[in-house]
Amino acid sequence: MDRVLIESLGVEAIIGVYDWERHIRQRLVIDLEMATDIRDAAANDDLDKALNYAAISEHIIDFADSHAFGLVETFAERLSDSLRQDFGITGLSLTVRKPGAVTDAESVGVRIERGNFV
């Protein structure tokens, strides 16, 4: 199985469990690996047969802009569901990091794998 990557995509979202976090946008950093077979797209140089990472990146940005969650875990789970449904992604590994959430850490976050991600 091949992988299509989107790494270190920065988005702004309303995310957090504290009252003050519900009124500001905070930066999240997204890493996404999507399982796919690129052979057909590559053989014909055909974007329609590929996972379009520009369209997927825009979807992630729009998702972050239009939703508010308390937990990074909820953000990751719902984004995963949305990506799999809207783009027909059979398997993915999604990392969502929240820089600066813990004073002594560069970032905190979660990594989830969903679907057929062998």
Length of the chain: 118
Q: How far apart are CA 64 and CA 28, in angstroms?
A: 9
**What Rg do the C-alpha atoms of the chain give, in angstroms?**
15
Question: Angle, nearest 10°, between helix axes 53-66 and 72-87?
Answer: 140
Sign of the alpha-carbon torsion through 8, 87, 118, 67: positive
**Quick check: is 98 catalytic?**
yes
Catalytic-labelled residue, pool 98, 99, 103, 106: 98
CB half-sphere exposure, 34, CA atoms < 13 A: 23
As annotated, the active-site residues are 98
